[in-house]
Homo-oligomer: A and B are copies of this chain.
Amino acid sequence: MRALKNHPELCAINTATFGFQVPLTLAIEAIAKAGFGGIAPWRREVEGQDVKALARQMRDAGLKVTGYCRSTYIPASTSAQFKENIADNLKALQDAAALGSDAFVFVVGTLANLISARAQVQEGLGLLSQHAENLGVKLALEPLHPVYAADRSCINLVSQALDMCDEIGSPSVSVIIDAYHVWWDPNIERDVVRGGAAKRIQGFHVSDWLLPVTDTLNNRGMMGDGVIDLKSLRAMVEHAGYNGLVEVEIFSSANWWKRPMDETLQVINDRLGETF
Protein backbone atom coordinates (compact mmCIF):
# COMPACT_ATOMS: atom_id res chain seq x y z
CA MET A 1 0.00 0.00 0.00
CA ARG A 2 1.43 3.36 -1.00
CA ALA A 3 2.19 6.05 1.56
CA LEU A 4 -0.10 8.99 0.74
CA LYS A 5 0.97 11.30 3.56
CA ASN A 6 2.68 14.34 2.03
CA HIS A 7 2.17 12.83 -1.40
CA PRO A 8 -0.63 14.87 -2.97
CA GLU A 9 0.92 14.02 -6.33
CA LEU A 10 -0.64 10.57 -5.93
CA CYS A 11 -4.10 12.13 -5.80
CA ALA A 12 -6.40 13.69 -8.34
CA ILE A 13 -9.20 16.14 -7.63
CA ASN A 14 -12.54 15.74 -9.32
CA THR A 15 -13.79 19.27 -9.92
CA ALA A 16 -17.29 18.36 -8.71
CA THR A 17 -15.69 18.64 -5.27
CA PHE A 18 -15.80 22.44 -5.70
CA GLY A 19 -19.46 22.45 -6.70
CA PHE A 20 -18.60 24.24 -9.95
CA GLN A 21 -18.14 27.58 -8.19
CA VAL A 22 -15.31 28.67 -10.45
CA PRO A 23 -14.27 28.26 -14.09
CA LEU A 24 -12.09 25.24 -14.86
CA THR A 25 -9.06 27.44 -15.56
CA LEU A 26 -9.02 28.58 -11.92
CA ALA A 27 -9.63 25.08 -10.58
CA ILE A 28 -6.66 23.79 -12.59
CA GLU A 29 -4.43 26.47 -11.08
CA ALA A 30 -5.54 25.80 -7.51
CA ILE A 31 -5.23 22.02 -7.80
CA ALA A 32 -1.75 22.21 -9.30
CA LYS A 33 -0.61 24.82 -6.76
CA ALA A 34 -1.73 22.54 -3.91
CA GLY A 35 0.53 19.82 -5.28
CA PHE A 36 -2.03 17.35 -6.54
CA GLY A 37 -1.12 15.11 -9.45
CA GLY A 38 -4.34 14.97 -11.39
CA ILE A 39 -7.72 16.41 -12.21
CA ALA A 40 -11.05 15.09 -13.43
CA PRO A 41 -13.07 17.84 -15.14
CA TRP A 42 -16.73 17.81 -16.16
CA ARG A 43 -18.37 18.41 -19.52
CA ARG A 44 -20.24 21.43 -18.22
CA GLU A 45 -16.85 23.07 -17.65
CA VAL A 46 -15.42 22.06 -21.00
CA GLU A 47 -18.10 22.06 -23.69
CA GLY A 48 -18.24 25.35 -25.54
CA GLN A 49 -14.72 26.23 -24.34
CA ASP A 50 -11.42 25.95 -26.20
CA VAL A 51 -10.75 22.28 -25.47
CA LYS A 52 -7.20 22.33 -26.77
CA ALA A 53 -6.30 25.33 -24.63
CA LEU A 54 -7.72 23.60 -21.55
CA ALA A 55 -5.79 20.44 -22.39
CA ARG A 56 -2.61 22.49 -22.71
CA GLN A 57 -3.22 24.29 -19.43
CA MET A 58 -3.69 21.00 -17.55
CA ARG A 59 -0.63 19.45 -19.18
CA ASP A 60 1.51 22.49 -18.51
CA ALA A 61 0.36 22.49 -14.89
CA GLY A 62 1.64 18.91 -14.61
CA LEU A 63 -1.82 17.48 -14.07
CA LYS A 64 -2.78 14.07 -15.37
CA VAL A 65 -6.42 13.93 -16.50
CA THR A 66 -7.78 10.87 -14.70
CA GLY A 67 -11.26 10.99 -16.11
CA TYR A 68 -13.68 13.14 -18.07
CA CYS A 69 -17.12 13.33 -16.44
CA ARG A 70 -19.47 12.09 -17.58
CA SER A 71 -21.56 10.14 -20.08
CA THR A 72 -25.03 11.00 -21.29
CA TYR A 73 -27.32 8.31 -19.90
CA ILE A 74 -27.58 5.48 -22.40
CA PRO A 75 -30.97 3.76 -21.98
CA ALA A 76 -33.97 5.38 -23.63
CA SER A 77 -37.56 4.51 -24.29
CA THR A 78 -37.24 5.01 -28.04
CA SER A 79 -34.52 3.78 -30.38
CA ALA A 80 -34.17 7.29 -31.84
CA GLN A 81 -33.33 8.61 -28.38
CA PHE A 82 -30.94 5.70 -27.78
CA LYS A 83 -29.08 6.58 -31.00
CA GLU A 84 -28.95 10.22 -29.99
CA ASN A 85 -27.48 9.25 -26.62
CA ILE A 86 -24.78 7.19 -28.32
CA ALA A 87 -23.94 10.03 -30.71
CA ASP A 88 -23.74 12.43 -27.79
CA ASN A 89 -21.40 10.12 -25.94
CA LEU A 90 -19.23 9.71 -29.02
CA LYS A 91 -18.81 13.48 -29.22
CA ALA A 92 -17.87 13.66 -25.54
CA LEU A 93 -15.48 10.74 -25.99
CA GLN A 94 -13.68 12.73 -28.65
CA ASP A 95 -13.40 15.65 -26.22
CA ALA A 96 -12.00 13.23 -23.61
CA ALA A 97 -9.30 12.29 -26.10
CA ALA A 98 -8.62 15.93 -26.95
CA LEU A 99 -8.25 16.70 -23.23
CA GLY A 100 -5.70 13.91 -22.91
CA SER A 101 -7.95 12.11 -20.45
CA ASP A 102 -7.23 8.50 -19.58
CA ALA A 103 -10.92 7.72 -19.36
CA PHE A 104 -14.43 8.82 -20.15
CA VAL A 105 -16.52 8.14 -17.05
CA PHE A 106 -19.75 6.23 -17.59
CA VAL A 107 -22.62 6.82 -15.25
CA VAL A 108 -24.98 4.79 -17.34
CA GLY A 109 -28.55 5.80 -16.52
CA THR A 110 -31.52 3.52 -15.96
CA LEU A 111 -35.17 2.78 -16.73
CA ALA A 112 -38.05 1.41 -14.68
CA ASN A 113 -37.43 -1.77 -16.68
CA LEU A 114 -33.98 -2.70 -15.41
CA ILE A 115 -33.61 -5.65 -17.78
CA SER A 116 -34.08 -3.43 -20.81
CA ALA A 117 -31.89 -0.69 -19.33
CA ARG A 118 -29.02 -3.10 -18.74
CA ALA A 119 -29.30 -4.55 -22.23
CA GLN A 120 -29.17 -1.05 -23.73
CA VAL A 121 -26.15 -0.11 -21.65
CA GLN A 122 -24.31 -3.19 -22.83
CA GLU A 123 -25.24 -2.52 -26.45
CA GLY A 124 -24.30 1.15 -26.18
CA LEU A 125 -20.92 0.50 -24.59
CA GLY A 126 -20.28 -2.12 -27.23
CA LEU A 127 -21.02 0.41 -29.97
CA LEU A 128 -18.65 2.95 -28.43
CA SER A 129 -15.83 0.59 -27.52
CA GLN A 130 -14.14 0.49 -30.93
CA HIS A 131 -14.13 4.30 -31.07
CA ALA A 132 -12.63 4.35 -27.59
CA GLU A 133 -9.90 1.95 -28.65
CA ASN A 134 -9.11 4.09 -31.66
CA LEU A 135 -8.99 7.23 -29.52
CA GLY A 136 -6.94 5.61 -26.77
CA VAL A 137 -9.48 6.50 -24.08
CA LYS A 138 -10.96 3.95 -21.68
CA LEU A 139 -14.72 3.72 -21.21
CA ALA A 140 -14.82 3.67 -17.42
CA LEU A 141 -18.01 2.15 -16.12
CA GLU A 142 -18.83 3.39 -12.63
CA PRO A 143 -21.26 1.19 -10.70
CA LEU A 144 -23.38 3.48 -8.52
CA HIS A 145 -24.83 2.73 -5.09
CA PRO A 146 -28.13 0.81 -5.33
CA VAL A 147 -29.94 3.87 -3.97
CA TYR A 148 -29.57 5.25 -7.52
CA ALA A 149 -30.97 2.21 -9.33
CA ALA A 150 -34.24 3.97 -10.17
CA ASP A 151 -32.88 7.27 -11.42
CA ARG A 152 -29.17 7.21 -12.27
CA SER A 153 -27.68 3.78 -12.85
CA CYS A 154 -28.87 0.27 -13.54
CA ILE A 155 -25.32 -0.94 -12.81
CA ASN A 156 -24.94 -1.17 -9.05
CA LEU A 157 -22.35 -3.83 -8.26
CA VAL A 158 -18.70 -4.11 -9.22
CA SER A 159 -19.30 -7.75 -10.19
CA GLN A 160 -22.10 -6.65 -12.50
CA ALA A 161 -19.86 -4.05 -14.17
CA LEU A 162 -17.08 -6.62 -14.59
CA ASP A 163 -19.54 -9.12 -16.07
CA MET A 164 -20.55 -6.46 -18.58
CA CYS A 165 -16.91 -5.76 -19.49
CA ASP A 166 -16.44 -9.47 -20.09
CA GLU A 167 -19.52 -9.61 -22.30
CA ILE A 168 -18.36 -6.64 -24.37
CA GLY A 169 -14.87 -8.09 -24.57
CA SER A 170 -13.09 -4.92 -25.68
CA PRO A 171 -9.89 -3.95 -23.82
CA SER A 172 -11.22 -0.38 -23.77
CA VAL A 173 -13.97 -1.07 -21.22
CA SER A 174 -13.07 -0.84 -17.57
CA VAL A 175 -14.48 -0.13 -14.12
CA ILE A 176 -14.17 2.63 -11.55
CA ILE A 177 -14.24 1.67 -7.88
CA ASP A 178 -15.88 4.52 -5.98
CA ALA A 179 -15.80 4.03 -2.22
CA TYR A 180 -19.12 5.79 -1.64
CA HIS A 181 -20.90 3.41 -4.00
CA VAL A 182 -19.34 0.10 -3.07
CA TRP A 183 -18.12 0.23 0.54
CA TRP A 184 -21.12 -1.75 1.83
CA ASP A 185 -20.80 -4.64 -0.64
CA PRO A 186 -19.99 -7.93 1.12
CA ASN A 187 -18.31 -9.15 -2.08
CA ILE A 188 -16.14 -6.10 -2.65
CA GLU A 189 -12.82 -7.78 -1.91
CA ARG A 190 -13.59 -10.71 -4.24
CA ASP A 191 -14.65 -8.29 -6.98
CA VAL A 192 -11.68 -5.94 -6.61
CA VAL A 193 -9.31 -8.90 -6.88
CA ARG A 194 -11.15 -10.03 -9.99
CA GLY A 195 -11.06 -6.53 -11.50
CA GLY A 196 -7.35 -6.23 -10.80
CA ALA A 197 -6.56 -9.61 -12.32
CA ALA A 198 -8.50 -8.65 -15.43
CA LYS A 199 -6.68 -5.29 -15.57
CA ARG A 200 -10.03 -3.55 -15.58
CA ILE A 201 -9.72 -1.19 -12.61
CA GLN A 202 -9.48 2.22 -14.23
CA GLY A 203 -9.97 4.47 -11.24
CA PHE A 204 -10.41 4.66 -7.48
CA HIS A 205 -12.62 7.42 -6.07
CA VAL A 206 -12.92 8.47 -2.45
CA SER A 207 -15.37 10.42 -0.32
CA ASP A 208 -17.22 9.31 2.81
CA TRP A 209 -20.67 8.08 3.87
CA LEU A 210 -22.07 10.45 6.48
CA LEU A 211 -24.50 9.70 9.26
CA PRO A 212 -27.29 10.46 9.65
CA VAL A 213 -28.27 9.67 6.07
CA THR A 214 -30.11 12.67 4.65
CA ASP A 215 -29.60 13.60 1.00
CA THR A 216 -28.07 10.57 -0.72
CA LEU A 217 -27.06 12.62 -3.75
CA ASN A 218 -25.30 15.75 -2.53
CA ASN A 219 -24.36 15.05 1.05
CA ARG A 220 -21.16 13.06 0.68
CA GLY A 221 -18.47 13.55 3.27
CA MET A 222 -14.80 14.47 3.40
CA MET A 223 -12.67 11.37 3.93
CA GLY A 224 -12.64 10.62 7.65
CA ASP A 225 -15.93 12.33 8.46
CA GLY A 226 -18.04 9.25 7.79
CA VAL A 227 -18.08 5.50 8.34
CA ILE A 228 -16.17 4.09 5.37
CA ASP A 229 -12.95 2.24 6.14
CA LEU A 230 -11.19 3.99 3.26
CA LYS A 231 -7.71 2.80 4.14
CA SER A 232 -8.72 -0.85 4.00
CA LEU A 233 -10.50 -0.29 0.70
CA ARG A 234 -7.49 1.50 -0.78
CA ALA A 235 -5.22 -1.30 0.43
CA MET A 236 -7.49 -3.78 -1.32
CA VAL A 237 -7.52 -1.85 -4.58
CA GLU A 238 -3.76 -1.25 -4.59
CA HIS A 239 -3.07 -4.84 -3.61
CA ALA A 240 -5.13 -5.87 -6.64
CA GLY A 241 -2.64 -3.99 -8.80
CA TYR A 242 -4.14 -0.52 -9.13
CA ASN A 243 -1.38 2.08 -9.23
CA GLY A 244 -3.23 5.07 -10.67
CA LEU A 245 -4.15 8.23 -8.82
CA VAL A 246 -6.60 8.28 -5.92
CA GLU A 247 -9.37 10.60 -7.04
CA VAL A 248 -11.22 12.74 -4.51
CA GLU A 249 -14.83 13.42 -5.53
CA ILE A 250 -17.13 14.97 -2.93
CA PHE A 251 -20.68 16.03 -3.74
CA SER A 252 -21.57 18.24 -0.81
CA SER A 253 -24.02 21.05 -1.45
CA ALA A 254 -24.43 22.00 2.21
CA ASN A 255 -20.81 21.93 3.28
CA TRP A 256 -17.77 21.68 1.02
CA TRP A 257 -19.36 23.40 -1.95
CA LYS A 258 -19.79 26.47 0.25
CA ARG A 259 -16.13 26.65 1.22
CA PRO A 260 -13.31 28.29 -0.74
CA MET A 261 -11.48 25.88 -3.05
CA ASP A 262 -8.15 26.39 -1.31
CA GLU A 263 -9.58 25.45 2.08
CA THR A 264 -11.04 22.23 0.68
CA LEU A 265 -7.73 21.35 -0.96
CA GLN A 266 -5.88 22.05 2.29
CA VAL A 267 -8.17 19.73 4.25
CA ILE A 268 -7.72 16.99 1.65
CA ASN A 269 -3.97 17.47 1.86
CA ASP A 270 -4.06 17.24 5.67
CA ARG A 271 -5.95 13.98 5.52
CA LEU A 272 -3.72 12.22 3.02
CA GLY A 273 -2.57 8.95 4.51
CA GLU A 274 -4.47 9.73 7.72
CA THR A 275 -8.09 8.99 6.92
CA PHE A 276 -7.70 7.54 3.43
Identify the interface centre among A112, A184, A213, A216: most chain B CB within 10 Å of its CB: A184
A184/B146 in contact, CB under 8 A: yes
Cβ–Cβ < 8 Å partners of A216 in chain B: 147, 213, 216
Quick check: is A145 within 8 A (CB to CB) of the other chain?
Answer: yes
Q: A156-B184, A186-B118, A186-B157 are in contact. Are A227 and B150 (CB under 8 A)?
A: yes
- Checking B149, B184, B209 against A184 with a beta-carbon cut-off of 8 angstroms, the contacting residue is B149
Closest to A118 in B: B186
- How many chain A residues touch B (Cβ–Cβ < 8 Å)? 28
Quick check: is A84 within 8 A (CB to CB) of the other chain?
Answer: no
Q: A156-B186, A184-B156 are in contact. Are A229 and B113 (CB under 8 A)?
A: yes
Cβ–Cβ < 8 Å partners of A262 in chain B: none
B211/A150 in contact, CB under 8 A: yes
Q: Tell me the interface secondary structure of chain A in the complex.
A: loop
Bound state CA distance, A184 and B227, in angstroms? 23
- Checking B118, B150, B160 against A213 with a beta-carbon cut-off of 8 angstroms, the contacting residue is B150
Cβ–Cβ < 8 Å partners of A149 in chain B: 183-184
Quick check: is A185 within 8 A (CB to CB) of the other chain?
Answer: yes
Which residues of chain A (180-225) have a CB below 8 Å from chain B?
A: 183-187, 209, 211-213, 216-217
Quick check: is A114 within 8 A (CB to CB) of the other chain?
Answer: yes
A235 to chain B, nearest CB (A): 14
Cβ–Cβ < 8 Å partners of A150 in chain B: 184, 209, 211, 213, 226-227
A275 to chain B, nearest CB (A): 13
A183 to chain B, nearest CB (A): 8
Quick check: is A151 within 8 A (CB to CB) of the other chain?
Answer: yes
A189 to chain B, nearest CB (A): 10
- Checking B112, B187, B212, B213 against A227 with a beta-carbon cut-off of 8 angstroms, the contacting residue is B112
A265 to chain B, nearest CB (A): 27
Cβ–Cβ < 8 Å partners of A184 in chain B: 114, 146, 149-150, 156
Bound state CA distance, A161 and B184, in angstroms? 14
Q: What are the 4 closest A-B residue pairs judged by CB atoms, nearest first?
A: A149-B184, A112-B227, A147-B147, A146-B184
- A sample of 6 cross-chain residue pairs with beta-carbon separation below 8 angstroms, ordered by A number, consists of A147-B213, A150-B211, A150-B227, A151-B211, A156-B184, A216-B216
